Amino acid sequence: MNQPQFNQFSSPAKLNLFLHIVGRRSDGYHELETLFQFIDHSDILEIRKIDSPKIKLLTPIEGVALQDNLIYKAAKILQDKTHTPLGAEIKINKVLPMGGGLGGGSSNAATVLLALNVLWDCQLSLNDLADLGVQLGADVPIFIHGFSAFAQGVGEKLTPQSPKEYWYLISKPTCSISTAEVFNHKDLTRNTPRLITSEIELKNCHNDCQTLVIKHYPKVANLLSWLLEYAPSRMTGTGACIFSQFNSKAEALLIQSKLPTEVESFVAKGVNQSPLLAELEALREKTKLFK
């Protein structure tokens, strides 16, 4: 009997258009206010179900143990939740930079949860999957729901938003930043006043992590300073990636061409709906044909 073919899924990046830290909970997690937007730049995951309960990651990530890999952990948490006898083989084409603040690992976990929910016919709701996902990382629910949103709490309380879909130049200096290190730092601002309206003026917002990071990572500070000469620019998440905002692809490509060669960069469009949603709908329609 022929094995099922691999199905291909996007695992897109996100930007934090701003990130305010408004408090710290007793469990150590931070209370956030942030505006998430997706960009059309993705890792690609290839997944197929298998009839044994094994979870096989065919492209391990160097330096990351299997049990610590969010792709593997996402598959296992769904398997344990649903008691399915099925397993999966998974491959990843890693495009998004690690340690950049683009949410690549969280996006990978969400894509696995969403894809296997269909492939294994688990029939969990998006809210059920988001509840599983938040156990893996605070950013996972936004990738589960797949729409741009104002997020509160630890990132799980989502209100849909439709920020303008600009073109962005995403730049990463030659350093990676630990999210845990930033959030645990004694000098991190944790008392930014909460927003009192859902009418968000981005020009009046900021990234609390950026203030800390540019003090301790001169490569981020220098690159940000350079980019601000050309366009509104801000760090996403805990960094190290910086996004610069343009009205056209041509403008973004022009400034990209001026970057120092050691700076990793790409140009992408902001999008308010994850490309994964359409892929999952197509998969559902395909699986109906074979039932």
Closest among 124, 178, 142 to 272, alpha carbons compared: 142
Among 14, 49, 73, 172, which one carries the catalytic annotation?
14
Element (H, E) at 241: none
> Within 13 A of 107's CA, how many CA atoms are on the CB side?
33
As a whole number of Å, the CA-based R_g of the chain is: 19
Among 73, 139, 172, 208, which one carries the catalytic annotation?
139
φ/ψ of residue 155, rounded to 5: 115, 5
Query: What distance lies between CA 137 and its chain's CA centroid?
Result: 10
- Tell me whether residue 14 is one of the annotated catalytic residues: yes
Two tokens, residue 285: 């329609």
- Tell me whether residue 139 is one of the annotated catalytic residues: yes
Pairing of strands 167-172, 264-271: antiparallel
Two tokens, residue 210: 């950026």
Closest among 77, 69, 68 to 131, alpha carbons compared: 77
Residues that are catalytic: 14, 139
